Amino acid sequence: MNKYVFADKIVCYHGSWSAYRSGNGHFTVSDIDPTLCTHLIYSFVGLNTNGTINILDEDLDVTNGNLANFTALKEQNSNLKTLVAVGGWNEGSTTYSMVAANASLRATFIQSSLQLVQTYNFDGFDLDWEYPGQRGGSTSDIENYVTLIKEFREVFDEYGLLLTAAVAAASSSVDLSYDVPSLSKYLDLINVMTYDLHGSWDGVTGQNAPLYASSIDTTAASQLLNVDAAIQGWIERGADPQKIALGLGFYGRSFTLSSTNDTSLGAPASGAGTSGPYTLEAGFLGYNEICETQLEGGWTIVWDDEQKNPYTYKGDQWIGYDNVESIILKAEYAKSLNLSGVMVWSIELEDFRGICGIKNTLLNAINSALASGSYAVTVKMSVPLRIFLLYIFLQF
């Protein structure tokens, strides 16, 4: 049988804390359209030092019924798969490193996760350890993470449950954290976080998730900070393309320009951009915040044809982000490499109220792009990647 198929998965993360946002940014489980994603992932639960799952917001998740309501979305879409994610940036790495290194704690972690999944009728579990071997982790994390995932797999297979993971994008981080072939062997999906590739920490303006490198990327390191290099890096290191979901950020990274006389890509920046009314985080704006502020007028929008992304500026504020056009190009790119599909972080950052136009405009664009039978994006493949993909193709 020919299993060589186009990308068809749309994996959507939901950050549950959006329930505390104000005004038009307030987003709850009831605002989710379950027909626009193939997989929905509830974020996050945490991990205790004794290996048990930590419900981070008991009132929201349990008392107010968020977890139960989330999996009940399957009643509106019988093909939908729901998962719950453990970890995230704020959880760090120390506890995960300690638990992964201890056989007894690993067993407790797995059984506690299984209990959570079964209690609330989830279809699987997503590991979002950020990151093995980093941020307080250990050099043995790479090996221990494989052991943890392998043991998760053995238990979850008994119950027909999915096991996925969110992973770093940049090759420098991948090499510190993962045994890529082993992750590819045991995971159902590898959700590559191909965003946060540039931000105010750089000191100059840059795209959150450029598809390709820019001509201003003159160093070897900077030439790897783009979606194309990240995805090719995962494949070249041994990941099965049909298990990779390409991460799409429904947000932008913002900057305060050092001078309004230089508004270009790579312009000096004095710091993070002004926070938005919903996310309230300097240097970070949801797509809904970006499009709504653009409605007020005065913004210049520039298409960067090298990186296949827009950026926008007004006064001393500069934002690198994704719009419908760039999102479609990334979805088509995923198809061109026969990836599993795309992953979205995160749906509450979308124009979910349709204030700027079509409701859920980015998710609708993704669905249309993946449903289309053709694509026109040009993939710049290295020789090793061409050989690897040819090998994969000839197996089917």
**CATH no. for residue 331?**
3.20.20.80
Phi, psi (deg, nearest 5) at residue 186:
-100, -20
Share of the chain above pLDDT 90, in %: 92
8 Å CB contact between 376 and 43: no
What residues contact residue 103 under an 8 Å CB cut-off, 6+ apart? none
Mean pLDDT value across residues 158-186: 98
Mean pLDDT value across residues 276-301: 99
Task: Tell whether 316 is covered by a domain.
Answer: no
Task: Tell whether 278 is covered by a domain.
Answer: no
Phi, psi (deg, nearest 5) at residue 306:
-70, -50
Burial label for 287, CB within 10 Å (0-12, 13-18, 19+), is: buried
Q: If pLDDT is split at 50, 70 and 90, which confidence band does 372 have? A: confident
Task: Tell whether 269 is covered by a domain.
Answer: no
pLDDT at 310: 99
pLDDT at 112: 99
The DSSP secondary structure of 262-316, one letter per residue, reads --STT-BEEEEPPPPTTT--TTEEEHHHHHHHHHTS--EEEEETTTTEEEEEETT
Domain count, the chain: 1
pLDDT per residue as tens digits for the range 26-81: 999 999 999 999 999 999 999 999 999 999 999 999 999 999 999 999 999 999 99
Q: If pLDDT is split at 50, 70 and 90, which confidence band does 5 have? A: low
- List b or e across 64-101, with b for residues whose CB sees 16 or more CB atoms inside 10 angstroms: eebbebbbebbeebeebbbbbbbbbeebbbebbbbbbb
Give me the domain span that covers residue 197: 9-249+323-394
Task: Tell whether 257 is covered by a domain.
Answer: no
Task: Tell whether 191 is covered by a domain.
Answer: yes
Mean residue pLDDT of the chain comes to 94
Helix (H) / strand (E) containing 126? strand 124-128
CA atoms of 343 and 327, how far apart (whole Å) = 11
Task: Tell whether 153 is covered by a domain.
Answer: yes
pLDDT at 391: 41
332 assigned to active site: no
Of 130, 292, 332, 350, which is the active-site residue? Answer: 130
Task: Tell whether 308 is covered by a domain.
Answer: no
CA atoms of 58 and 64, how far apart (whole Å) = 8
pLDDT at 47: 99
Residue 286: closest CA among 334, 192, 193, 356: 356
CA atoms of 37 and 57, how far apart (whole Å) = 25
pLDDT per residue as tens digits for the range 316-348: 999 999 999 999 999 999 999 999 999 999 999
Q: If pLDDT is split at 50, 70 and 90, which confidence band does 284 have? A: very high
Tokens 């005065």 correspond to 298
Task: Tell whether 99 is covered by a domain.
Answer: yes
